[in-house]
Amino acid sequence: MEVIEAVYDHGVLRPLKKVDLKEGEKVRIVLKRSLYEVISELEKEFEDVDEDLREVLVR
C-alpha cells in the first residue's frame, strides 16, 4: 500500500507525484482531509455556535 497526496481539480483527482500504475488500472481511494481543513471547518462551526449563544443571551 502506498499513500500519496492528490488535488481534486475539475472533477479529477490529480496525484502530486508520479504513481506506478498501469493505464486503466483500478485502485481504491480513501479520502482524508488535511488537518488544517478539519480545524478550519471546526472553527466555522464554533463561530456559528457562538453566534447562536449570543442571540439566546440577548433575548
Mean pLDDT of 34-47: 84
Report CA-CA distances (Å) from 1 to 10, 20, 26, 46.
26, 12, 14, 36
> pTM of the predicted model, to two decimals?
0.50
pLDDT for residue 20 is more than 90 = yes
* Residue 43, pLDDT score: 86
* Residue 31, pLDDT score: 86
Read off the C-alpha cell for 57: 443571551
